């Protein structure tokens, strides 16, 4: 069979002869296929270019995010190291305070007594201050959880110490540490000759001679538990300072407080007198701990 062909006639506007071109059908088919292939390749190349450009943009964003995350992780590592070091110092300070206050902490094996130089709790020292520079977020989160648990234990420990020092502050405020009245000590604590019988007896307090009506002040905080007559001591005031400590004031000319009153250190409570069994104006002053008379001089910090 003869090959099919097409004739392309070109007619000029002038008197030139008509030009005829014979084009084989196979050539047209090959040309069409070639155009389609070239067009497809061009479209594919264009799509690939845009995809590559898109991936490049995404990679740039990812790189920037990665740099940001690296900076954040570095900051987190530094903060963890700082917190760990701080907890180490708090731990050592906690041990020193407990050694000074004779408090023990069985939960962390902190016993009474002085601490050895350079000894620290392994909880914080080995887990928090030696961090790798390639920590993954999961590991960092685990360390943060441990830091949080350790901080909670430290908080509980410091709360216990705070309660202890608060109690000591209250004890100091309740300790009769000043003279209730100024004068001359005519009879000290201990054995003495009774001025009436001349027999050797135990004197349970101090006799402070002072002018009649001399002011008497509370030597520490407390609550008045008795104010009235008591045999040979005449007018007597008893103040309960807590912690088993009570003070007694005898031979008073007048009482300026009553049972149930709360007094502060330095508060005016009475006046020196000569009531009861007395040889002259003076204050009989006692300090009792759990009912046992103590030498008041042991508590007085003033000269």
Distance CA 259, CA 238 (A): 9
Residue 280: DSSP 8-state: S
What pLDDT was estimated at residue 212?
96
Decide: 205 and 223 in contact? Cβ < 8 Å: no
What pLDDT was estimated at residue 244?
92
Contacts of 241 (CB under 8 A, 6+ apart): 174, 175, 176, 220, 221, 222, 247
What pLDDT was estimated at residue 303?
62
Given the structure tokens 């008041």, which residue do they identify?
296
Distance CA 277, CA 236 (A): 12
CA angle 50, 51, 56 (to 5 degrees): 95
What pLDDT was estimated at residue 236?
97
* R_g (Cα) of the chain, nearest Å: 50
Helix, coil or strand: residue 91: helix
What pLDDT was estimated at residue 1?
46
Tokens found for residue 176: 């009769």
Distance CA 84, CA 88 (A): 6
What pLDDT was estimated at residue 222?
94
Tokens found for residue 147: 């830091």
Q: Note the pTM of the prediction, 2 decimals.
A: 0.53
Residue 244: DSSP 8-state: T
Distances (CA, A) of 32 to 25, 39, 78: 11, 10, 68
pLDDT average per 10 residues of sequence, the chain (303 residues): 70 73 79 87 87 84 85 80 80 74 54 40 46 58 76 79 78 87 91 70 91 96 95 95 94 96 96 92 95 91 71
């Amino acid at each position: 069979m003869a090959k099919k062909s097409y004739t392309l006639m070109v007619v000029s506007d002038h008197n030139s002869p008509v030009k005829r071109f014979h084009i084989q059908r196979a050539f047209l088919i090959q040309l069409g296929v070639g155009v389609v292939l070239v067009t497809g390749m061009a479209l594919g190349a264009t799509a690939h270019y845009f995809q590559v450009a898109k991936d490049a943009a995404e990679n740039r964003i990812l790189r920037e995010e990665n740099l940001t995350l690296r900076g954040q992780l570095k900051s987190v590592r530094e903060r963890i190291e700082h917190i760990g070091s701080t907890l180490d110092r708090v731990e050592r300070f906690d041990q020193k305070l407990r050694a000074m206050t004779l408090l023990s902490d069985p939960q962390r094996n902190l016993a009474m007594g002085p601490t050895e130089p350079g000894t620290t709790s392994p909880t914080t020292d080995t887990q928090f201050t030696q961090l790798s520079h390639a920590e993954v977020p999961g590991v960092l989160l685990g360390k943060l959880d441990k830091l949080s648990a350790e901080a909670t234990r430290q908080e509980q420990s410091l709360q216990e110490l705070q309660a202890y020092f608060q109690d000591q502050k209250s004890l100091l405020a309740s300790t009769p540490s000043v003279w209730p009245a100024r004068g001359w000590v005519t009879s000290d604590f201990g054995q003495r000759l009774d001025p009436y019988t001349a027999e050797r007896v135990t004197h349970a307090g101090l006799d402070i001679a002072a002018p009649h009506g001399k002011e008497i002040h509370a030597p520490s905080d407390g609550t008045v538990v008795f104010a009235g007559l008591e045999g040979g001591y005449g007018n007597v005031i008893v103040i309960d300072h807590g912690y088993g400590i009570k003070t007694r004031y005898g031979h008073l000319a007048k009482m300026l407080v009553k049972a149930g009153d709360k007094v502060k250190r330095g508060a005016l409570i009475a006046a020196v007198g000569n009531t009861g069994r007395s040889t002259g104006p003076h204050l009989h002053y006692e300090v009792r701990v759990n009912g046992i008379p103590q030498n008041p001089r042991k508590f007085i910090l003033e000269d």
